[in-house]
C-alpha cells in the first residue's frame, strides 16, 4: 500500500462522510485498518541499521580470523569456522523465537558471510585448486539455503548478488555467454517469489535485464542489438498479457513490462549510438521509434499506476534526447528540425489524449 494512497484516503474520507457516502464509524474503521497495514518507518530504520551492523560484524570476524589464520592449528581453524556458523544461526533462531525478527535477519546475514569466508579459507587451508568463481556459487548456494530455512530475505538478496558476481566473472573469463547463470538466477528468483520479497524481485529483474542486454556483445558476431530488441519486445508483450490475466499476476506482469521496456530501450540506444557507422537518417528514424516507445510506456504506466515504469519512461525519453543531440551536434539544422517535429508530435498527442479523456468522461457522466 503506497503512502500516496494512504494520504489521499485520509483527505477524501472526511469529504465522503460529509456527503453521506460513508458512515463515520466506517471511515474510522478504514483509517484504523490502513494504519495497521502501514509499515513502521522506525522499524524499517532499525532493520537497515541491523543489516549494516551485521555486515560490519561479519567483516570484522573475517578480518580477525584471516589475520591470525597462519598461527592457528588446522583442526582449530576448522572448528572455529563451524563454531562461528553455529553461533550466528543459533543467535538468529533465538531472536526469531523472541520476536526480534529485525535483528534475527542481521544474524542470518552474519552467518551467510561467515559461510562464504569459510569456503575461501578452507580451500586455502587444504590447497584446493580449481575455478575461482566456483567458490562464489557455493557461497551463493549456502546463502540461498540459509535464506530459505530461516525465512530471511536479506540472505536471499545476498545470494542474488553472489549469483550476479559469479555470472559476470565467468563471462569475463570465457569471453562468451555463460548460460548457467539463468538456472542459478531462476532458483534465487523462485525463492524471492516464495518469500514475496518486493525489493529482491526488483533487483533480480534488473540483474536479468543487464544480462539480456549483455547478450548483444557476448553472442557470436556482436553487436546483436536487433536480437536483444526482439527479446525485449517479447518480454514486454508477455508482461502486458500477465497484467490482463488477473490481479494475482499483476506484480509479475509489471516486472515483465519494466524488464522488456528497459531491454528494448537499451537495444535501441545501442543501435543508434554504439554503431557509429550508421547513417544519420537511420539514427533519426530509430530515435523516433525510441521516443514513441517511451511515450507508449508513459501512457501504460499512467493507466496501470506503475510508478517505476513511469520513471523509467521519463528517463529513457531524456536519455534519448540528450544522446541524439550529441550525435547530431554537427548538423544543427537536422537537430532543430527533429526537435521541432518531435515537440509538435508530442503536443498533438497531448491534445488527442485530452480530447479522448473529455469524450470518455462525458459518456460516463451521461450513463451515470
- Output 2 or 84, whichever has higher pLDDT: 84
pLDDT-derived band of residue 188, with 50, 70 and 90 as boundaries? Answer: very high
pLDDT-derived band of residue 194, with 50, 70 and 90 as boundaries? Answer: very high
**Furthest C-alpha separation in the chain:** 86
pLDDT value at position 366? 47
- Mean pLDDT, range 327-349, rounded to an integer: 65
Assess whether pLDDT exceeds 90 at residue 351.
Answer: no
pLDDT value at position 37? 57
| Mean pLDDT, all residues of the chain | 82
pLDDT-derived band of residue 117, with 50, 70 and 90 as boundaries? Answer: confident
Place of cell 534488473: 206
Q: Tell me the per-residue pLDDT of 263-272, one tens digit each, with 9 for 90 and over.
A: 999 999 998 8
pTM for the model: 0.78
- Mean pLDDT, range 193-204, rounded to an integer: 92
Q: Are 120 and 153 in contact (CB under 8 A)?
A: no
Alpha carbons within 13 A on the beta-carbon side of 37: 11
- Mean pLDDT, range 174-191, rounded to an integer: 94
pLDDT value at position 320? 86
Name the least confident of 23-27, 84-88, 232-236: 23-27
- Mean pLDDT, range 269-282, rounded to an integer: 79
Rg (CA), the chain: 26
Assess whether pLDDT exceeds 70 at residue 331.
Answer: no
What angle separates helix 132-150 from helix 153-174, to the nearest 10 degrees?
A: 160
- Output 99 or 254, whichever has higher pLDDT: 254
Q: What is the DSSP letter of 39?
A: P
- Output 226 or 122, whichever has higher pLDDT: 226
What count of other Cβ atoms lies within 10 Å of the Cβ of residue 177?
Answer: 16
- Mean pLDDT, range 125-144, rounded to an integer: 86
Q: What is the DSSP letter of 38?
A: S
pLDDT-derived band of residue 368, with 50, 70 and 90 as boundaries? Answer: very low
Q: Tell me the per-residue pLDDT of 81-98, one tens digit each, with 9 for 90 and over.
A: 888 888 889 988 998 888
Q: Are 184 and 140 in contact (CB under 8 A)?
A: yes
pLDDT value at position 11? 77
pLDDT-derived band of residue 206, with 50, 70 and 90 as boundaries? Answer: very high
Residues with Cβ < 8 Å from 41, sequence gap 6 or more? none
Name the least confident of 254-258, 281-285, 322-326, 360-364: 360-364
Q: Tell me the per-residue pLDDT of 43-69, one tens digit each, with 9 for 90 and over.
A: 566 667 777 777 777 777 777 766 766
Q: What share of the chain has pLDDT > 90, as a percent?
A: 32
What count of other Cβ atoms lies within 10 Å of the Cβ of residue 258?
Answer: 25
Q: Which residues of 223-252 are buried (b: 16+ CB within 10 A; e: fewer)?
A: bbbeebbebbbebbeebbebbeeeeeeeeb
Q: How far apart are CA 29 and CA 41, in angstroms?
A: 22
Cβ contacts of 314-320, under 8 Å, gap ≥ 24: 316/261, 316/265, 316/290, 317/291, 319/269, 320/265, 320/269, 320/287, 320/290, 320/291, 320/294
Q: How far apart are CA 198 and CA 201, in angstroms?
A: 5
Residue 303 region, left (φ>0) first, then alpha (ψ -120 to 50), else beta? alpha
Amino acid at each position: 500500500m503506497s503512502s500516496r494512497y494512504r494520504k489521499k484516503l485520509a483527505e477524501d474520507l472526511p469529504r465522503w462522510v460529509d456527503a453521506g457516502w460513508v458512515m463515520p464509524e466506517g471511515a474510522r474503521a478504514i483509517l484504523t485498518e490502513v494504519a495497521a497495514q502501514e509499515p513502521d518507518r522506525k522499524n524499517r530504520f532499525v532493520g537497515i541499521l541491523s543489516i549494516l551492523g551485521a555486515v560490519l560484524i561479519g567483516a570484522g570476524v573475517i578480518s580477525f580470523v584471516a589475520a591470525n589464520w597462519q598461527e592457528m592449528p588446522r583442526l582449530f581453524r576448522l572448528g572455529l569456522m563451524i563454531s562461528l556458523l553455529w553461533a550466528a544461526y543459533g543467535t538468529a533462531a533465538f531472536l526469531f523465537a523472541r520476536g526480534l525478527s529485525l535483528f534475527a535477519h542481521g544474524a542470518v546475514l552474519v552467518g551467510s558471510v561467515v559461510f562464504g569466508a569459510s569456503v575461501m579459507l578452507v580451500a586455502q587451508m587444504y590447497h584446493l585448486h580449481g575455478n575461482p568463481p566456483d567458490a562464489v556459487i557455493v557461497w551463493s548456494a549456502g546463502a540461498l539455503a540459509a535464506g530459505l530455512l530461516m525465512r530471511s530475505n536479506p540472505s536471499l538478496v545476498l545470494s542474488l548478488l553472489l549469483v550476479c558476481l559469479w555470472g559476470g566473472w565467468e563471462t569475463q573469463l570465457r569471453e562468451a555467454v555463460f548460460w548457467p547463470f539463468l538456472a542459478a538466477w531462476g532458483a534465487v528468483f523462485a525463492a524471492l517469489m516464495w518469500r514475496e520479497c518486493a525489493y529482491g524481485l526488483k533487483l533480480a529483474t534488473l540483474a536479468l535485464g543487464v544480462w539480456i542486454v549483455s547478450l548483444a556483445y557476448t553472442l557470436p558476431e556482436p553487436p546483436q542489438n536487433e536480437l536483444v530488441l526482439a527479446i525485449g519486445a517479447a518480454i514486454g508483450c508477455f508482461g502486458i498479457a500477465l497484467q490482463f490475466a488477473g490481479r494475482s499476476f499483476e506484480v509479475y506482469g509489471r516486472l515483465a513490462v519494466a524488464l522488456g521496456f528497459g531491454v528494448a530501450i537499451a537495444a535501441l540506444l545501442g543501435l543508434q549510438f554504439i554503431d557509429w557507422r550508421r547513417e544519420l537518417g537511420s539514427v533519426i528514424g530509430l530515435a523516433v521509434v525510441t521516443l514513441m516507445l517511451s511515450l507508449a510506456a508513459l501512457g501504460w504506466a499512467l493507466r496501470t499506476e506503475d510508478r517505476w515504469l513511469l520513471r523509467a519512461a521519463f528517463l529513457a525519453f531524456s536519455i534519448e534526447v540528450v544522446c541524439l543531440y550529441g550525435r547530431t551536434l554537427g548538423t544543427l539544422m537536422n537537430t532543430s528540425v527533429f526537435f521541432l517535429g518531435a515537440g509538435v508530435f508530442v503536443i498533438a498527442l497531448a491534445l488527442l489524449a485530452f480530447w479522448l479523456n473529455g469524450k470518455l468522461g462525458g459518456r460516463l457522466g451521461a450513463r451515470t
